[in-house]
């Protein structure tokens, strides 16, 4: 004891060396990736907001490798701290919920008036699509003077006492409506009526994505991430991280997948390496 408290002996120095060695080793053999990968951990704009994780990332808070191309979200600067999805061209929608298993995101217009932004929407330039349950239609928007007496197709959030903004589907019979008081404003091609109809403006609209196909990872309780070692910029992999810390001899599992059906090759690695199932396209 006196030697330990006084001049360090060789044995004491050796003890201190191994103590720090095992301390550092314990930090890197835990349940999750340490260091730079922590910047990709799930995040929210506010405590009760939707969880943001791959394929999404939070712009200006997480690096690009944390998300899939085109899946950037942001937070509003006001006290509400709402989650924002921006679609081409400059269509900003608030995010209500994200279902990672079904690969769907529920969005709504900040002013509960989707038609305000409808002329700028170019959904085909985004990684999202309208679910097949929505029937796509083409519409015409008219500006009608106060002499127009019909409220059918009225877009109340764009109308006032001086004029009415109405919408008509190309499928709708217009012969019973006198459009002489109306002026055609624009054509809206291939959108579901839920983003046009007044009735649905208080109800979130669903969008879905097909790439990246992470549903298999989700179903198996694994995380879907970009494979940064792949030559393909959009290659993904399933990453299994135990909920509790593992001992030094236990490994993590990586499953590298793509959106096509794949065959698998199993490789075993030494301690501290992962067991990888590398998928190759058929």
- Kindly list the domain boundaries of the chain, sorted by start residue: 82-208, 212-281
Residue that has been written with the tokens 């004491």 in this structure:
12
Question: Which residues, including other chains, have CB under 8 Å from residue 179's CB and lie 6 or more apart?
Answer: 142, 144
Share of the chain above pLDDT 90, in %: 47
3-state secondary structure of 234: coil
Task: Give the pLDDT confidence of 47-80 residue by residue, as tens digits.
Answer: 999 999 999 999 999 999 999 999 999 999 999 9
Intervals of the chain under pLDDT 70: 1-37, 173-176, 242-282
Residue 145, beta-bridge partner list: 163
The CA distance from 151 to 133, in Å, is 27
pLDDT of residue 271: 29
């Amino acid at each position: 004891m006196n030697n330990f408290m006084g001049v360090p002996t060789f044995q004491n120095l050796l003890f201190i060396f191994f103590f720090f060695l095992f301390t550092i080793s314990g930090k890197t053999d835990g349940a999750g990736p340490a260091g730079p990968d922590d910047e990709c951990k799930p995040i929210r704009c506010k405590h009760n907001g939707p969880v943001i994780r791959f394929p999404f990332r939070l712009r200006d808070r997480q690096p690009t490798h944390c998300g899939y191309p085109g899946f950037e979200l942001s937070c509003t600067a006001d006290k509400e701290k709402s989650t924002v999805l921006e679609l081409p061209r400059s269509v900003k929608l608030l995010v209500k919920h994200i279902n990672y298993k079904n690969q769907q995101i529920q969005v709504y217009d900040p002013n509960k008036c989707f038609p305000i932004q409808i002329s700028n929407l170019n959904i085909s330039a985004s990684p999202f699509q309208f679910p097949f349950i929505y029937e796509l239609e083409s519409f015409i928007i008219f500006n009608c003077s106060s002499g127009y007496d019909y409220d059918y197709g009225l877009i109340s959030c764009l109308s006032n006492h001086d004029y009415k903004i109405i919408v008509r589907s190309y499928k709708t019979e217009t012969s019973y409506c006198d459009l002489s008081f109306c002026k055609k404003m624009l054509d809206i091609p291939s959108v579901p009526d839920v983003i046009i109809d007044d009735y649905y403006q208080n109800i979130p609209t669903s969008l879905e994505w097909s790439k990246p196909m992470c549903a298999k990872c989700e179903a198996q309780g694994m995380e879907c991430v970009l494979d940064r070692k792949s030559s393909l910029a959009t290659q993904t992999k399933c990453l299994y991280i135990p909920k509790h810390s593992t001992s030094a001899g236990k490994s993590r599992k990586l499953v590298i997948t793509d959106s096509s059906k794949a065959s698998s090759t199993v490789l075993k690695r030494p301690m501290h390496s992962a067991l990888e199932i590398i998928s190759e396209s058929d």
